[in-house]
């Protein structure tokens, strides 16, 4: 079939665009949707189709424009709002995305409402306009929908009840860690060290895996007694039954809202003790979770009231990391050779909100001649770069002061820090993996004490690393610290030369110590359950 000729009507172009879309030829489909809109600017299906095609190509800047155009034609198209919200979120327009999801939840059909609430529960901590209380309410509501879907009764010793079992003949406590990223080295450096360090004489370790199995390249040190469960495609209900029948004592959620489809497992109470370790940045919302793992730097006592579950704190940081894969050598600060200071961030684009851009812009204004280097996968697309350039321009920052780069090989990605003098944190969704990588590569990363858990993960890691001088008390102090260091960068060479060794010797990398602390919490939670049941 050939494309319609120049004189064809809008519907002919739309039909051909839909055909190309179905063939996954998204770039050609986009051009045909545009041709349809030239002939009929109010053709809703062409606006919608163009937005979907551009979003599939990760051209979120273009997708946002198309979806908004479609909404001017059909303001009642609530499912479209979820697509718009997805692209808004991808570029850091988080508050706008939350507003669109809220409308979709309130006005959409049943399927749209479920999708909107599910996504709101995931992204809520990153919205600067939502309070801790609002985040808790959203997550409670979503967790309640998951609990309502559980089909009792659950067979096996747990039977939906937190009754602890008697010790086995070998005396070992059965731990079950479940997650989807056991095969991802970059992700697992935050967790695998502590799992490897468990005392196998006291604990049986079960890894319940969606996706790639644990392997050496992802930091796993195989232990003959460990059990690997591959559960791809197994429903939460069936997996809960298997867990209960096998008799796990403690079930630990490794991914939280980073792998949301498995969180419904928590509602089944498959194990007598259920714990959330990572991927939360706030309450799980599940009444069936006994505790979340945190530390004093990330969750102060006054914020415990915003958690459904108890907050159990480990010493130092709950994100101690093990850099078990090859990394580049630490380079000299680039300002020593190029004559200007380069600030930088490798944060995901969804963390770069308008408030972050305004803050970083004030820092650039405060250090004449300085530059800002940004790198993430979203910046590979032209419309996404254009969106970010426009937002910096609103804050008086010319494009010449910005370097924007896309993704790449991870080793090369880490080499980006060779070109960054000072790394800047995002907020209210701060770094974790990027924080570990920045300081490992010798780049001082600056952060501050934010207003929520998500805003304090960098703080947790930096304080554990003994890098208190990089942690400001508030946003104004963060900006002042960056400007002060940018105006007098002479100490950077000294800082960089010793940073990796300092971090490696600190509690920020003490995964064995974190493992002991986790074991103590697991035992204490289990003992508490046994005591509460009179066992």
The least confident of 140-154, 465-479, 489-503 is: 140-154
Identify the CA nearest to 17 among candidates 8, 80, 7, 27.
Answer: 27
Asked if residue 1 belongs to a domain, the reply is: no
CA distance 414 to 328: 7
526's CB contacts (< 8 A; 6+ apart) are: 164, 173, 249, 250, 272, 273
Q: Same structural domain for residues 196 and 307?
A: yes
Find, among 213, 219, 271, the residue nearest to 244 by Cα: 271
Per-residue model confidence as pLDDT tens digits over 405-419: 999 999 999 999 999
Radius of gyration from C-alpha coordinates of the chain: 25
Q: Across residues 104-128, what is the average pLDDT?
A: 97
CATH of the domain at 38: 1.25.40.10
- Do 44 and 121 belong together in one domain? yes
Give the start-end residues of each E strand in 233-341.
250-253, 273-276, 291-294, 310-313
**For residue 359, what pLDDT band results from cuts at 50, 70 and 90?**
very high
pLDDT in tens, 477-490: 999 999 999 999 99
pLDDT digits (tens, 9 = 90+) for 450-478: 999 999 999 999 999 999 999 999 999 99
User: What proportion of the chain, given as a percentage, has pLDDT over 90?
Assistant: 91
**pTM above the 0.75 mark?**
yes
Q: Give 156's pLDDT tier (boundaries 50, 70, 90).
A: very low
209 domain residue, yes or no? yes
Can you tell me the mean pLDDT for 386-390?
98
User: What's the confidence (pLDDT) of residue 280?
Assistant: 87
Report the pLDDT averaged over residues 1-26: 88
Query: Average pLDDT for residues 99-126, to the nearest whole number?
Result: 97
Please answer whether residues 235 and 160 qualify as being in contact, where contact means their C-beta atoms are separated by less than 8 angstroms: no
**521 and 469 in a common domain:** no
Convert the pLDDT of each residue in 335-353 to its tens digit. 999 999 999 999 999 999 9
Q: Which residues contact 529 (CB under 8 A, 6 or more apart)?
A: 162, 163, 164, 272, 273, 290
What CATH number does the domain containing 473 carry?
Answer: 3.40.50.2000
116 or 528, which is more confident? 116
Residue 152 predicted with pLDDT over 70: no
> Given this model, what pLDDT does residue 186 score?
86
| pLDDT one-digit tens code per residue, 56-77 | 999 999 999 999 999 999 999 9
pLDDT tens per residue, range 225-261: 999 999 999 999 999 999 999 999 999 999 999 999 9
Please give the pLDDT value at position 530.
56
pLDDT at 170: 78
Cα distance from N-terminal residue to C-terminal residue, the chain: 74
528 and 504 both lie in a single domain: no
Residues 310 and 341 in one domain: no
* Residues 275, 373 within the same domain: no
Mean pLDDT over residues 169-177, rounded? 90
Q: What is the pLDDT of residues 189-215, one digit of tens each?
A: 999 999 999 999 999 999 999 999 999
CA angle at 249 for the pair 243 and 252, rounded to the nearest 5°: 75
d(CA 421, CA 499): 13
Asked if residue 124 belongs to a domain, the reply is yes
Is residue 127 domain-shared with residue 73, that is, in the same domain?
Answer: yes
Residue 505 and residue 516 in one domain: no
Q: What letter does residue 488 receive in the DSSP assignment?
A: -
From residue 234, alpha-carbon distances to 198, 241, 256, 466 in Å are 27, 11, 18, 43
Q: How confident is the model at residue 159 (pLDDT cuts 50, 70, 90)?
A: very low
Check whether residue 458 and residue 443 sit in a common domain: yes
pLDDT tens string 293-333:
999 999 999 999 999 999 999 999 999 999 999 999 999 99
Structure-derived torsion over alpha carbons of residues 481, 484, 488, 489, reported in degrees to the nearest 10: 30
* Residue 3 forms part of a structural domain: no
Residue 484 lies in a domain: yes
Q: Is the pLDDT of residue 155 over 80?
A: no
Angle between helices 60-73 and 78-90 (to 10 degrees): 160
Which residue range(s) make up the domain with 526? 173-320+512-532
Mean pLDDT along residues 418-426: 98
**Looking at the domain assignment, is residue 408 inside a domain?**
yes
Region 438-447: mean pLDDT is 98
Pairing between strand 273-276 and 250-253?
parallel
Residue 166 lies in a domain: no
Arithmetic mean of pLDDT over the chain: 94
| CB-CB neighbours of 475 under 10 Å | 17
**pLDDT at residue 535 greater than cutoff 70:** no
Do 480 and 517 lie in one domain? The reply is: no
**Count of structural domains, the chain:** 3
Residue 76 lies in a domain: yes
Tell me, yes or no, whether 293 and 366 share the same domain: no
Do residue 214 and residue 233 come from a single domain? yes
Spatial CA neighbour of 440 closest among 489, 502, 514, 373: 502
Indicate if the pLDDT at residue 188 is higher than 60: yes
């Amino acid at each position: 079939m050939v494309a319609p000729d120049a004189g064809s009507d809008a519907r002919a172009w739309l039909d051909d665009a839909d055909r190309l879309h179905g063939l996954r030829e998204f770039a050609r489909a986009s051009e045909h949707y545009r041709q349809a809109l030239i002939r009929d600017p109010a053709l809703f299906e062409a606006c919608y189709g163009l937005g979907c095609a551009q979003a599939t190509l990760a051209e979120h800047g273009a997708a946002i424009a198309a979806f908004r155009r479609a909404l001017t034609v059909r303001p009642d198209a609530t499912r479209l709002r979820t697509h718009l919200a997805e692209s808004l979120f991808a570029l850091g327009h988080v508050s706008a995305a939350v507003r669109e999801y809220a409308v979709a939840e309130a006005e959409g059909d049943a399927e749209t409402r479920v999708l909107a609430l599910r996504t709101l529960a995931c992204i809520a901590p990153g919205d600067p306009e939502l309070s801790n209380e609002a985040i808790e309410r959203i997550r409670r509501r979503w967790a309640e929908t998951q609990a309502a879907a559980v089909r009792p009764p659950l067979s096996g010793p747990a039977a939906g009840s937190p009754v602890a079992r008697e010790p086995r003949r070998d005396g070992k406590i059965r731990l079950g860690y479940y997650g989807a990223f056991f095969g991802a080295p970059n992700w697992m450096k935050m967790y695998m060290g502590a799992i490897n360090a468990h005392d196998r004489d006291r604990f049986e370790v079960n890894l319940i895996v969606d996706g790639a199995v644990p392997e050496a390249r992802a930091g796993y040190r195989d232990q003959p007694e460990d059990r690997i469960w591959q559960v791809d495609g197994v429903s939460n209900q069936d997996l809960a039954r298997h867990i209960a029948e096998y008799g796990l004592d403690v079930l630990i959620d490794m991914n939280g809202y980073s792998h949301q489809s498995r969180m419904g497992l928590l509602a089944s109470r498959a194990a007598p003790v259920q714990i959330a370790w990572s991927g939360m940045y706030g309450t799980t919302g599940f009444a069936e979770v006994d505790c979340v793992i945190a530390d004093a730097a990330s969750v102060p006592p006054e914020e415990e009231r915003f958690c459904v579950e108890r907050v159990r704190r480990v010493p130092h940081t709950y994100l101690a990391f093990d850099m078990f894969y090859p990394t580049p050598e630490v380079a000299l600060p680039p300002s020593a050779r190029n004559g200007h200071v380069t600030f930088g961030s490798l944060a995901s684009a969804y963390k770069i909100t308008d408030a972050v851009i305004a803050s970083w812009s004030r820092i650039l204004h405060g250090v004449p001649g300085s530059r800002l280097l940004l790198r993430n996968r979203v910046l590979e697309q032209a419309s996404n770069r254009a969106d970010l350039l426009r937002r910096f321009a609103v804050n008086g920052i010319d494009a010449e002061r910005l370097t924007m780069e896309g993704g790449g090989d991870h080793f090369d990605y880490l080499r980006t820090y060779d070109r960054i003098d000072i790394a800047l944190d995002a907020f209210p969704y701060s770094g974790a993996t990027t924080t570990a990588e920045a300081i490992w590569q010798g780049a001082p990363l600056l952060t501050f004490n934010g207003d929520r858990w998500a805003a304090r993960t960098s703080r947790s890691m930096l304080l554990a690393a003994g890098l208190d001088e990089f942690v400001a008390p508030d946003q104004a102090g963060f900006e002042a610290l960056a400007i002060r260091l940018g105006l007098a960068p002479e100490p950077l060479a000294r800082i960089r030369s010793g940073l990796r060794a300092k971090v490696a010797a600190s509690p920020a990398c003490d995964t064995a110590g974190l493992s002991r602390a986790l074991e103590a919490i697991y035992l204490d939670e289990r003992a508490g359950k046994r005591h509460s049941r009179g066992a």
